[in-house]
Amino acid sequence: EIVLTQSPGTLSLSPGERATLSCRASQGVRSNFLAWYQQKPGQSPRLLIHDAFIRATGIPDRFSGSGSGTDFTLTISRLEPEDFAVYYCQQYGGSPPYTFGQGTKLEIK
């Protein structure tokens, strides 16, 4: 089973700043099948990025994904007030089980 470790656990930033979130896999993610999700309080997770760098439908271009193999990054170029939430990475690289990271909470500084 691939274990995903996200860092930092909590990130405190101000609107307008740049956010960089990390997701490290315990072994290589096949075909870079890695996704990022955003979850706000009281809501279900929302798909932001799939296949490591492809934005999902309707996702603003301030969100970008990068990385390959075992190291992946979600970058939010200029934080908007609505971006403060919890972010999860997930690998779906072939065989189950599909695994999620433990999450990074992005909070307003």
Partner 1 sequence: EVQLVESGGGLVQPGGSLRLSCVASGFTFSTYDMHWVRQYTGKGLEWVSAIDTAGRTYYPDSVKGRFTISRENAKNSLFLQMNSLTAGDTAVYYCVREKDIGDDAFDFWGQGTMVTVSS
**Interacting residues with partner 1 (CB under 8 A):** 30-31, 33, 35, 37, 44-47, 50-51, 56-57, 88, 90, 92-94, 96-103
DSSP 99: E
3-state class percentages of the chain: helix first, strand second, coil last, to nearest 5: 5, 50, 45
CA distances in angstroms from 105 to 1, 61, 73, listed in the order given:
24, 21, 15
CA distances in angstroms from 94 to 2, 18, 98, listed in the order given:
11, 32, 9
Return the number of the residue (9 or 14) whose C-beta is nearest partner 1. Answer: 9
Closest distance of CB 95 from partner 1, Å = 8
Return the number of the residue (78 or 90) whose C-beta is nearest partner 1. Answer: 90
Closest distance of CB 7 from partner 1, Å = 14
Closest distance of CB 97 from partner 1, Å = 4
